[in-house]
Structure 1
Amino acid sequence: MTEASASAATSGSSTSRARMNIGEVLDRLRPDFPGVTIPKIRFLEDKGLIKPERTPAGYRKFSADDVERLRYVLRMQRDHYLPLRVIGEHLDAIDRGLEPPPIDPVVPTVPQVALAADGLPSAESFQRRDQLRISRRELLKIAEISEELLGELERFGLISARPGTGHFDSDALVVARTARELADFGLEPRHLRAFKTAADREVGLVEQVVAPQKAGRDPAARARAEETVSEIAALSVRLHATLVKIGLRSR
């Protein structure tokens, strides 16, 4: 798309005429949202947050307004951790000429998880050690989960407070938010035990590989062992995600 047509797509009646395919939309969004994917865009469409036009052949055609709505949704998810239901209410207000409610700052501010360009955790993300400490009450508020759900996650060993502190870290927050999103699809904490069991097995395999390096007293060898752990962990997540994707495609 030329600069002239891109400009026309954002002004007046030209907005209703200029249309993009889903690949072009992805190219526009990825500089600001590297983790966005075509399935993610389709999922947001299924949730009714965007409504691209369809050609007679069934292909999606997006307007500049559709792209801006996507930017709004992705920004609200990334920066303010708003659930899709609330974001949908905001968009409905905007559609009716109203101003969406002001977004209260989230306290404490949660660091962004380091992700590779393909949306999968990088080796560096496994090395990251933040000092985030949040109380139980803060975890419930930021993750938007109930005390009952948190209790079940603890009971099944999916979340635990830091020993001796009673505080939770950023990993606990990610697990809590993910569990809440999975609950929207009917997956309860008892269903998630399989993920914990699989993760424990992967951890055991990684530790087995690096055990000889960790056994020595050489500080350099132990440092290399930590790097090896991070690299293997990232590769195992990539393999796991890809195998799940392959399995779903074959059904």
Structure 2
Amino acid sequence: MSIGTVLLQLRGEFPEVTISKIRFLEAEGLVEPQRTPSGYRKFRGADVERLAQVLRMQRDHYLPLKVIREHLDALARGEQSALPSGGDPRDLADVGSGRATAARIGRAELLAAAEVTESDLDEWESYGLVAPTAEGGYDAEMVTVAKLVADLGRFGLEPRHLRAIRAAADREAGLIEQVVAPLRRHRNPQTRAHAEATARELAELSVRLHSALVQTALRVRLR
């Protein structure tokens, strides 16, 4: 299979996977596709299954790639290898959906999830792209931000390039806060809950508008 075919097969379970992600996992030794004489990658069914295993362990356990590689290599040799324990992404999903507020992961888990170094994370924090909570640790949104910043970095976009996106996000958040502020100050708990739901809906609409505007601008520029 070509890398494009592999991408289509994986996206059913992993909608956020990209070709650059597959290439990164190959560079890290997680999968070794064959190469044609002209240099094109050719994946077997076993390669696709191994990629799926890697992505599941990242998604479900937040394990470092080195640990995942060692675990899969041991299984391939026929050895008994227990999967190391990791963070619980269900807790993080609860944070993102508003069902819980206490779930956090530590710095090491964030580094593993984003597949970056300490110096990378230090730089992101210096630019205000990633920040721990007041209680310490990182919540689900910061995990998502870190992964996206890492993915953009593989295309050559550095943290200094992303300051405009950070500033725009702050302005959009301020606008949403103005809309829901009267509801949040209400004494009725149901009204305050409605404020939270309204804020989430406005945030989703804002993201969709931003995406549509970027796509429109690109179509004009790339004509």
- Larger gyration radius, structure 1 or structure 2: 1
Cα gap change, 1:154 to 1:85, in 2 (>3 Å): same
1:131 lines up with 2:86 in the alignment: no
Larger helix percent: 2
1:212 lines up with 2:182 in the alignment: yes
Q: Deviation string for 1:18-47 (max 9, x for gaps)?
A: xxx95xx55x862xx16258xx3x556777
Residue matched to 2:59: 78
SS at structure 2 position matched to 1:111: helix
RMSD: 4.5
1:243 lines up with 2:213 in the alignment: yes
Runs of 5+ consecutive residues of structure 2 not aligned to the other structure: 35-42
- 1:168 and 1:36 map into 2 onto residues whose CA distance is 21
Cα gap change, 1:239 to 1:126, in 2 (>3 Å): farther
Residue matched to 2:193: 223
Runs of 5+ consecutive residues of structure 1 not aligned to the other structure: 1-15, 53-61, 115-123
Q: Deviation string for 1:130-169 (max 9, x for gaps)?
A: 4223333443345433222222222111222222x33332
- 1:178 and 1:103 map into 2 onto residues whose CA distance is 30
Residue matched to 1:35: 15
1:173 is matched with which residue: 125, 129, 143?
143
Displacement, 1:229? 0.6
Residue matched to 1:151: 122
Residue matched to 1:191: 161
- 2:216 and 2:195 map into 1 onto residues whose CA distance is 31
User: How do residues 14-93 of structure 1 correspond to structure 2 at under 5 angstroms?
Assistant: 30=12, 33=13, 35=15, 40=18, 68=49, 71-72=52-53, 74-81=55-62
- Identity, % of aligned positions: 43
Cα gap change, 1:44 to 1:189, in 2 (>3 Å): closer
Larger RCO, structures 1/2 (Cα 8 Å, 6+ apart): 1
Displacement, 1:190? 1.7
Q: Would the aligned equivalents of 2:180 and 2:199 in 1 still touch at CA under 8 Å?
A: yes
Q: Deviation string for 1:40-81 (max 9, x for gaps)?
A: 3x55677777979xxxxxxxxx98667546634543543355
Aligned residues: 210
Q: Would the aligned equivalents of 2:58 and 2:64 in 1 still touch at CA under 8 Å?
A: yes
Q: Would the aligned equivalents of 2:33 and 2:47 in 1 still touch at CA under 8 Å?
A: yes
TM-score by length of 2: 0.65
- 1:246 and 1:84 map into 2 onto residues whose CA distance is 37
